[in-house]
Amino acid sequence: MMDGKVVVVTGAGSGIGREFALAFAKAGAAVVVNDLARGAEGQAPLAEAVAAEICAAGGRAVASLDSVAEQPSAAHIVQSALDHFGRIDCVVNNAGIVRDRFFFNMSLEEWKAVLDVHLNGTFNVSRAAAPHFKTQNGGSYIHMTSTSGLIGNPGQSNYAAAKMGIVALSKGIALDMARYQVRSNCIAPWAWTAMTASVPTDTPDARARMEKLKTMEPHKIAPLAVYLGSDAGANVSGQVFGVRANEIYLFSQPRVIRSVHRSEGWTPESIAEHAIPAMRSSFYENAPAPTLTTWDPI
């Protein structure tokens, strides 16, 4: 499905990103494997190991060790695709970190670090690819979001804000670049990775959730990404998907669901007496994501 295509995958040294890189290569794409992470002492950087694995299997790949968090280095990632393979057809914004802490204890550094990698990193790499997509009249963006942003999760306000920001960014890209046959979609993945393993499990519910997460394998996410990056997905844009083991979800997006009006306008008192009671039955429960996916992975 990806013969002749060139794909950039960020955060591709391990976990979900590695599975993306391997799957795109197996589908025929040339892959820029981007990751900052280093292997154990004396071992090659993770990106180089994944690129070598792809090449050993007969595929085409090159490693990139540049950071997504700064525009100049993010531009180098995209330029690597052009220098080695002559074009770029798909960007998978997968790079991420977590700095989990309850909001009332969160530092500015913890806030900025997560937004710089997730949200700014997604912008930086996407923006670097945009002129090339525009010129060639085609391309695909695939961004990783999370139910921590779509629904909510305690102790992750920085991560949630970044991941929900990515959804809005994806929608903006989809709208702005539709005239150039460029599409942009999000995937919310459930999978056991090194990043999810670092999430605190200081309550029985959190420990139970983590045990369930361990059954969800990263490679299950990759087929949807390959589809969205291929020509078969050319008519899919502006959507938010989820993958949980063998399930694929389509998430809702904000739409007006109730309206009330008064011909004379509103006062704080009439809002209390009329507007809020009329709309309260349509309020969403202030509940974390795990409470809304209570069934076992299929």
SS (H, E, C) the chain: CCCCCEEEECCCCCHHHHHHHHHHHHCCCEEEEECCCCCCCCCCCHHHHHHHHHHHCCCEEEEECCCCCCHHHHHHHHHHHHHHHCCCCEEEECCCCCCCCCHHHCCHHHHHHHHHHHHHHHHHHHHHHHHHHHHHCCEEEEEECCHHHHCCCCCCHHHHHHHHHHHHHHHHHHHHHHHHCEEEEEEEEECCCHHHHCCCCCCHHHHHHHHHHCCCCHHHCHHHHHHHHCHHHCCCCCCEEEEECCEEEECCCCCCCCCCCCCCCCCHHHHHHHHHHHHHHHCCCCCCHHHHCCCCCC
> Residue 208 maps to which CATH number?
3.40.50.720
Q: pLDDT per residue over 63-121, tens digit each? A: 999 999 999 999 999 999 999 999 999 999 999 999 999 999 999 999 999 999 999 99
Does 199 score more than 60 pLDDT?
Answer: no
- Please indicate whether residue 292 or residue 221 has the higher confidence score (pLDDT): 221
> Would 292 be classed as within a structural domain?
no
> Would 290 be classed as within a structural domain?
no
Residue span of the structural domain in which 160 resides = 6-254
> Would 280 be classed as within a structural domain?
no
> Would 284 be classed as within a structural domain?
no
Q: What is the mean pLDDT of residues 7-13?
A: 98
> Would 293 be classed as within a structural domain?
no
Q: What is the mean pLDDT of residues 251-271?
A: 96
> Would 27 be classed as within a structural domain?
yes
Q: What is the mean pLDDT of residues 149-170?
A: 97
Does 232 score more than 80 pLDDT?
Answer: yes
The per-residue pLDDT for 290 is 85
The per-residue pLDDT for 296 is 81
In the chain, how many domains are there? Answer: 1
The single residue of 159, 180, 227, 249 carrying the catalytic annotation is: 159
pTM of the model: 0.91
The per-residue pLDDT for 30 is 98
- Please indicate whether residue 41 or residue 3 has the higher confidence score (pLDDT): 3
> Would 260 be classed as within a structural domain?
no
Catalytic-residue membership of 227: no
> Would 228 be classed as within a structural domain?
yes
